[in-house]
Structure 1
């Protein structure tokens, strides 16, 4: 019952009281955002550029990312930078980190924002995992852990003595916990709906965020999960996102503008987590619209589940 109450409460947020005007200047800060060529990620990049941050857009499609970078320069007058990243291929994740490390010696904020929504059930990652969980959770785990040395050194050297890792989840996580028998290509997985697979990946985002906070919070890693407001069928809490144009019913595309709020709102909660002074003490928390602490489903906060997921994630990347 508690999970249901939390889910419903997120559908009806109070009036917005936080805006990008409240953000501090980000001059001297280096930011990496996955999936920032479209949607919420692109809006996060736009606002951070306006706040004088150095922004890297990590995306799979170079041509689309370059178009986004051109558009961002036209709207902000600032230049973002591209890192090629395919979260569904672990070796390409490793290559992306190597590219980033060849360019930078600092990383102040990592937005684990990119992902997939409801791909066909038969699709897997290049490493044989469920495509949704493999992209949304495993790919970001590997990216984050490979970047840990630079994150930790940045935290140690920065005046704030911390850096932040922001994980994009969704209130759809309330609909399913992690089924560990459905993370690889198994008969159990094939019996689940694509919606359930997506929901378990969003639970996975929170579990990973919380476990990262447990393991590295005392070393300056502030790890926060967020529901930015993009549930595709609910009401105005759901924002227009590129993900919602993929693999969804035609009818949803016809009606979505009646229900969904602008993407500008979707960027507010992640940005609050990443930049506000208050966010510095929110490691291990789950934030909901608009820029407030929420309550994720009970199992996502269980250290036993966190340890089990971390072990599974480690096993998947062991031989990469």
Structure 2
């Protein structure tokens, strides 16, 4: 418990950043996707990528909200992101989004698995009957990544010196999580857990998935990292109580700070050497819970995820 408390303290109160968006190299010719990108950290990530000349697909569920974000970012950067309709809580939507992207692009250099949901009411499920948090944060991103892997791998082969990046957003709350496979779908075991417990489980699952992706595809030029973005002021907190929001509000940073670590992992030269690493604010290598990196658990989760999407 002492190590957990120490880690949470380090995650919550990081030192001043030495990395900034000004350090991002020119991304001309690079293609990126950012999920959950119409607001918060995702939107700030898109902004930085556009400002450095990347072609960016802003993936989101609501076209109206996405278009509003695209319009605002165009005013700020003079560049225009492309909308990609993606509902991570609906596996058919995930498949449609991947196919739409692959119908337009032959390359994908950076995939930011940034979208997510935190602590919704327990009765909320995905379109396919999964726990909303596990289904959105882990299964949805797994399936999206799986479908895009052929494009990622072919892109890596074309530019072997650069590697492609898959950056998956986790949270320091993974320290309080574990994987109970009986709670991934709705049922009595799941209903006994609180929304916050289910959130911690999904964020733990993000690290297990990212580490297993690194093991399976690192030798094919795919660099997979996971990260804690920081305690960030965003729409992610919409399901928390006013008291919780007030308490954590004193510790929160702006979404611009939240984008720093994933931009570092996704665009920096040193990011190409970070396969399998867990990143923490601001643009540093950290240490997740050791058991989240267990290859046996990684294989077990990966096989479960594969089973869920085999007939979509």
Q: TM-score scaled to structure 2, two decimals? A: 0.97
Q: Is the 8 A contact 2:32 2:110 kept in 1?
A: yes
List gaps (5 residues or longer) in structure 1: 230-237
Matched, 1:241 2:230: no
Q: Please report the RMSD computed on the Cα atoms of aligned residues, expressed in angstroms.
A: 1.2
Q: Which residue of 2 aligns with 1:260?
A: 252
User: Structure 1 pair 108/53, CA: closer, same or farther in 2 (3 Å)?
Assistant: same
Q: Which residue of 2 aligns with 1:148?
A: 149
1:127-276 equivalences under 5 Å are: 127-158=128-159, 160-229=161-230, 238-244=231-237, 246-254=238-246, 256-276=248-268
Q: Which residue of 2 aligns with 1:81?
A: 82
1:62-141 equivalences under 5 Å are: 62-141=63-142
Q: Is the 8 A contact 1:3 1:298 kept in 2?
A: no
User: Structure 1 pair 4/179, CA: closer, same or farther in 2 (3 Å)?
Assistant: farther
- 1:301 aligns with one of 267, 276, 293: 293
Structure 1 residues 18-63: Cα deviation after superposition (integer angstroms, max 9, x where no partner):
1111111111100000001000000000011000100000100000
Q: Is the 8 A contact 2:160 2:221 kept in 1?
A: no
Q: Is the 8 A contact 1:177 1:299 kept in 2?
A: no
List gaps (5 residues or longer) in structure 2: none
- Distance in structure 2 (CA, Å) of the matches to 1:150 and 1:277: 21
- Distance in structure 2 (CA, Å) of the matches to 1:115 and 1:33: 12
Q: Which residue of 1 aligns with 2:41?
A: 40
Q: TM-score scaled to structure 1, two decimals? A: 0.95
Q: Which residue of 2 aligns with 1:232?
A: none
- Distance in structure 1 (CA, Å) of the matches to 2:7 and 2:21: 26
- Distance in structure 1 (CA, Å) of the matches to 2:170 and 2:271: 17
- Distance in structure 2 (CA, Å) of the matches to 1:92 and 1:10: 34
| Equivalenced residues, count | 311
Matched, 1:290 2:290: no
Structure 1 residues 143-169: Cα deviation after superposition (integer angstroms, max 9, x where no partner):
000000000000000253410000000
- Distance in structure 1 (CA, Å) of the matches to 2:274 and 2:47: 24
**Aligned with 1:259: secondary structure?**
coil
